[in-house]
Amino acid sequence: MIKLAPSALAVDFTKLGEEIKSADNSGADWHHLDIMDGHFVPNISFGPALVKTIDKISDLYLDVHLMLSNPEKYFEDFKNAGADAITFHIEVHPDPRKHLQTIKNLGIHAGISLNPDAKAEQVIPYLEYCDLVLVMSVFPGFGGQSFIGSSLETIAQCRKYIDEHNLHCLISVDGGVSGENAQKIVNAGADVLVMGSAYYKSNEREKLVESVHSLKRNS
């Protein structure tokens, strides 16, 4: 089943608790939590204290996406805050093996992410060490941007390699994902769809989750 991971960056922060609970109650699978440092990306979001708050409110899997220039400095803090998976960028650590192992040694899942202008070849040699690969379909930093079509090719190349080598690595897709483009992203090979604005702006969150859960890859 295709998973839906609402991105908390798009919640109405005046009612954080309600928003997070509503995602849990709508049947969503994960919370995607975007951590930005104002250096690797031009925006600043939130840190471990807010992740810990979300962990107290929610029973869901917490998928922490680190958009940081020195992610390894914070692995332990996010694990202690309740992260179930930590993902960092290949642009920061072109050989990510050591840091993937550090995350796994904390007893949680480890992922790598690549920006839309990176080549699938940059991550493919490391997919065997990953629990997930997060394909960015916008340049990270802000919610609400449009999906960049060339990421479909990156998803497809990762899918091919994962299937041919029988790897357990999930493909998650992040940026400009909505109910409208979900099918083509799944056709390209995604396992997890991250949705910020499309999810939190929807008045029919349960229906959106159901429609994602019912998607099948038609290739």
For the chain, the C-alpha Rg in angstroms (whole number) is: 16
Q: Which does 195 bind (CB under 5 to 8 A by kind): ligand DX5, Zn ion, none?
A: ligand DX5
Checking phi first, is residue 124 left (phi over 0); if not, alpha (psi -120 to 50) or beta? alpha
> 72-131: which residues touch ligand DX5 (CB under 6 A)?
none
Q: Rounded distance, CA 139 to CA 137, Å?
A: 7
Q: State the nearest-atom distance from the C-beta of 165 to ligand DX5, in Å.
A: 27
- Which segment (53-61, 87-95, 99-107, 196-204) binds ligand DX5 by CB under 6 A? 196-204
The label of the residue with tokens 């493919």 reads 124
Active site residue 163: no
CB of 80 to ligand DX5, least distance (A): 22
Q: Which of 48, 96, 143, 189 binds ligand DX5 (CB under 6 A)?
A: 143
C-alpha dist (Å) from residue 7 to 158, 162, 169, 174, 219: 23, 25, 20, 9, 27
Residues numbered 21 to 80 that lie near ligand DX5 (CB under 6 A) are 32, 34, 65
Residue 19 binding ligand DX5, by CB under 6 A:
no
Q: Beta strand pairing status for 61-67 and 109-114?
A: unpaired
Active-site residue, 34 included: yes
Task: Say how many CA atoms lie within 13 Å of 178 toward its Cβ.
Answer: 14
For the beta carbon of residue 191, count every other beta carbon within 10 angstroms. Answer: 19
- Residue nearest Zn ion by beta-carbon distance: 65
Answer for which of 28, 109, 196, 212 binds ligand DX5 (CB under 6 A) is 196
Instruction: Please give the residue ranges that form the binding site for ligand DX5 (CB under 6 A).
Output: 7, 9-10, 32, 34, 65, 138, 140-145, 174-177, 194-198
